[in-house]
Amino acid sequence: MAWIRRSGLTVLAAAAGVMLGVPAASAATGTVNTSGVALTVRSGAGTGYTATGSVADGASVTISCQTRGTTVTGTYGTSSVWDKITSPAGYVADAYVYTGSDGTVAPPCVQTVTNDYPYKSDSSSEADPWLFYKRECVSFAAWRVRQRLGVDFTNSYRGVHWGNAINWDNAALSAGVKVDHTAKVGAVAQWNTGTYGHVAYVARVNSDGTILVEEYNYLSAHNYDTRTISASSVGNYLHF
């Protein structure tokens, strides 16, 4: 469930009502409501990103785009939506911003495609905090789901053992995660090829039928790369 804001009132609505992906024509405005304290502005859409400044309670902000990140509980309930504001430049948790709407009020943000994975120099024989081996495709995909979508994903998500990438489609179905053949930004691309399978994060969906994926341990062992591939060449898409 998620909280929505309309005409100054706060009411409870289904989470689908605040899903991103419904495009807005242009930037929007909002008002910070933190009950007195300043709202931290961060370099990315999540509480783990560096603080770049703050916005005073009651201040008006211009929202250039919106995305998903760390789930935050604030004045307007619990939400994984983050607003990219123009001044000071950065991201703020939408749970603390009154927008006057029960839906998306700004276009979806285009996320930077870069190797910001925190374990890029670690041993691949060590487990990450969510219990996948570091620098494997599953660890990177899991991290992107946690970082970009705000999902508390682990190797035992929803009581299901996810294991190797080749098992992720079956694990997703068991966990109630949608599996289909439709490419969307934020989906995990999954293949049942080879001994262990493969997973990658969908960073772009292009108009020509191709997608841009980010991944680890594909073009070179235990390293990051990106590829532009046909959307139809992917075995399955997992939508968290």
- 146-185 confidence digits (pLDDT tens): 888 778 999 999 999 999 999 999 999 999 999 999 998 8
Domains in the chain: ranges and CATH: 2-98 (2.30.30.40), 137-239 (3.90.1720.10)
d(CA 63, CA 108): 11
d(CA 73, CA 96): 8
Higher-pLDDT residue of 102, 1: 102
Contact of 143 with 117, CB cutoff 8 Å: yes
Is pTM, for the whole model, over 0.75? no
For the chain, percent of residues with pLDDT exceeding 70: 88
What residues contact residue 114 under an 8 Å CB cut-off, 6+ apart?
A: none
pLDDT-based confidence at 25, cuts 50/70/90? Answer: very low
Higher-pLDDT residue of 17, 69: 69
Residue 139 has pLDDT above 80, yes or no: yes
CA-to-CA dists, residue 171 to 21, 152, 163, angstroms:
26, 16, 9
Contact of 198 with 140, CB cutoff 8 Å: no
- Name residue 230's beta-bridge partners: 210
Q: Which pLDDT value is given to residue 4? A: 36
Q: Which pLDDT value is given to residue 48? A: 80
d(CA 145, CA 141): 6
pLDDT digit string, tens, across residues 77-96: 988 789 999 999 999 999 99
Contact of 133 with 119, CB cutoff 8 Å: no
Q: Which pLDDT value is given to residue 234? A: 98
pLDDT-based confidence at 102, cuts 50/70/90? Answer: low
Mean pLDDT of the 14-37 span: 64
Residue ranges with strand state E in 49-195: 51-55, 60-74, 77-86, 89-93, 97-98, 178-180, 188-191
The pair phi, psi for residue 172, each rounded to 5°, is -60, -45
Higher-pLDDT residue of 117, 101: 117
Q: Which pLDDT value is given to residue 149? A: 78
d(CA 212, CA 111): 12
Name the DSSP letter for residue 108: B
Q: Which pLDDT value is given to residue 103? A: 63
Higher-pLDDT residue of 96, 1: 96
CA-to-CA dists, residue 135 to 46, 141, 153, 195, angstroms:
22, 10, 17, 17
The torsion angle over the Cα atoms of residues 60, 109, 26 and 29, rounded to 10 degrees, is -10
d(CA 126, CA 136): 10
Closest residue by Cα to residue 168 from 229, 69, 234 = 234
pLDDT digit string, tens, across residues 182-240: 998 889 999 999 999 999 999 999 999 999 999 999 999 999 999 999 999 999 999 98
Q: Which pLDDT value is given to residue 73? A: 94
Q: Which pLDDT value is given to residue 71? A: 79
